[in-house]
Structure 1
Amino acid sequence: MCSNNDYVSEEEIWVFYKDREEWADVTPVPQDDGPHAVVRIAYTDAFSDVYDYFRAVVASGEMSERALELTEDAINMNAANYTVWQYRRKILKHLGSDLEKELAFCREMIEMNPKNYQVWHHRRVIVEWLGDPSKELRLTEMIFSQDAKNYHAWEHRQWVLRTFKLFDGELEYVNRLIEEDVRNNSAWNQRHFTITQTTGFTPEVIEREIEYVKAAIEKVVGNESPWSYLRGVVQHCDGGMNSIGNLEDWCRKMYDGGERSPHLLTFIVDLMEDKMERDLELRPAILKHCLEICDSLASEHDQIRKEYWRYIGRNLSHRFGA
């Protein structure tokens, strides 16, 4: 089979379905865009030929080996066509086809179309039919080596982990990804997912994760990903954001040392807001400092969101200034 580019560049050697003896019994069904198509797409002759015969096969309900091969040609020309994938699955099930062979085909399609939803969905269905996820984690790792933030690959991996309970070693794998690139927000998200699906955020886990993320932040304070993860971890603290990990002192040490990352300042605002909700006596002094930080974010450190920080300042004054 040829790739889509091959069809275009080698169309002169393409044998049209209309010229194939084994398809002589089928009458192709041309695409009907209506009499007043707004934008008529300039399909290649080979593309039109394949899809004219595909429409004919669907119309007749034919489910045969030749129809399966036809869907492969159609997918090579347009891997995003949901109808072709759906009909291919009907044929596979009807024929009782070799699903291991189908997995190999699907991997080829994923390697050529790694951000195509339909390819990944088809893969999931085949894995479900087989009940065998043994190749899936390695496949996603291969995709991540090319694109560490491929959303479809991460979604597939999470589905496999959750469905087949394959979490052993997942946290260690995520550790490696974060060590390779501490800015990999997908890996930080996967860390949260893995803990949520396994141990949960117990006090012991929260303390461990706070120390882990603090070390990551200290390497690159201006990296938003671990700050977002830290915020997600402390949300599980029943006693408030500063009840575990002594985050207030940690942030103050960086602030007093001259660090003015907007991510640090934003987190300090969150800490102070949480503290004002719990400490009425110190509220006036905390509010004063909090408003000073909001003003510095608006005027200097996060000017692109200055109106947002002005709004936050007004909101905090209204809630805690009385």
Structure 2
Amino acid sequence: MTLEAELWSDITPIPLDDGPDPLAPIAYDAEYSEAMGYFRAISQKDERSERALQLTEKIIEYNPAHYTIWYYRQQILFSLDKNLYEELDFVKDQIDSNPKNYQLWHHRQVLVEKLMDASRELPFIDEILNDDAKNYHAWTYRQWVIKTFNLWENELDFVNKLLDKDVRNNSAWNQRYFTIFFNPTKPTEEFLTQEIEYVIEKIKMAPNNISPWNYIKGIIAKSNKDIGILEELCKEIENQDIISPHVMGCLVDIHESRARNGSAIDKEEGIKICTLLADKHDTIRKRYWGYRKIILASH
């Protein structure tokens, strides 16, 4: 036995029971199977002890995505009144090796929620995002931390730095929207006007990057401004002989908004652009542009 024999002499491990004729039995590592056998035995009687804690760590070495083990580990930590800051260090080491493991991020959230102390969290997340600025789990966790502990003050500056580094960082654009519109302090119309100007400059840097296009349309919708304010931007990009489906799609939006108010010229122009997108410039969404043509024709 690879586990300490004396430590576990009073426990009879419970083997995995896949039934008499498993369809696709998994060939588990022998040590992992042994550890899980002891885990089944102690979890049946809800043992919360130092040896149980050590056992969860051993199993995590083999399978850091084992949700049940993490949950059981939490119960042991709380029952034994362990130092949760030490556990945060343990989780940090685990996340450094497995940065896209959901169970690890969830475990850290449980610990921080128990401690009600997020003083370590933003610097820790910054480290993770510095290695991978588009780590979905890190961003989701960051949003939870900011909302739970009201850490909005410097978030826009943080996002600015990321977008200055990589204007195509779609995660940063998503975080920008979160920072502005989920913040309890609502943005003023003056701020939203400045924000539109900011995004226009970013779009000029990468006209075929869909993220700022989606973002600016969301800003316009939230600010009750007219989508027509983007027409000059679209024409400027077109005059540079840049063919961008996002520019053309924005022009469709502009023409449709005017067609709704009775403009026959905009109706025809919008249908024409939809045809170009469907047949040549955005064929992967051919059916979508066909649908937009139907909407335009109905006005």
Normalising by the smaller structure, the TM-score range is over 0.9
- Unaligned 5+ segments in structure 2 are none
Residues 138-187 of structure 1, C-alpha deviation per residue, up to 9 Å, x if partnerless? 11111111211111110110000000011111101100101111110000
- The corresponding residue for 1:229 is 215
Q: Does 1:289 align with 2:269?
A: yes
Contact 1:177 1:184 survives alignment (8 Å): yes
Letter in 2 for 1:261: S
Q: Within 5 Å, which residues of 2 pair with 1:37-186? A: 37-186=22-171
- The corresponding residue for 1:248 is 231
1:311, distance to aligned residue in structure 2 (A):
2.5
Instruction: Determine the C-alpha separation between the residues in 1 that align with 2:240 and 2:163.
Output: 26
Instruction: Determine the C-alpha separation between the residues in 2 that align with 1:257 and 1:46.
Output: 64
What percentage of residue pairs aligned between the two structures are identical?
45
Contact 2:129 2:135 survives alignment (8 Å): yes
Contact 1:117 1:152 survives alignment (8 Å): yes
1:316, distance to aligned residue in structure 2 (A):
1.2
Among residues 194, 208, 213, which one is paired with 2:199 in the alignment? 213
- Unaligned 5+ segments in structure 1 are 1-14
Paired residues, what number?
298
* TM-score, normalised with respect to structure 2: 0.96
Instruction: Determine the C-alpha separation between the residues in 2 that align with 1:61 and 1:291.
Output: 67
Q: Spell out structure 1 runs of 4+ moving beyond 4 A.
A: none
* TM-score, normalised with respect to structure 1: 0.89
Instruction: Determine the C-alpha separation between the residues in 2 that align with 1:238 and 1:144.
Output: 34
- The corresponding residue for 1:202 is 188
Q: Between 291-300 and 233-242, report the one with greater CA deviation.
A: 233-242
Instruction: Determine the C-alpha separation between the residues in 1 that align with 2:192 and 2:269.
Output: 28
Contact 1:120 1:156 survives alignment (8 Å): yes
Q: What RMSD, in angstroms, separates the aligned Cα atoms of the two structures?
A: 1.4
Q: Does 1:23 align with 2:3?
A: no
Letter in 2 for 1:106: V
- The corresponding residue for 2:18 is 33
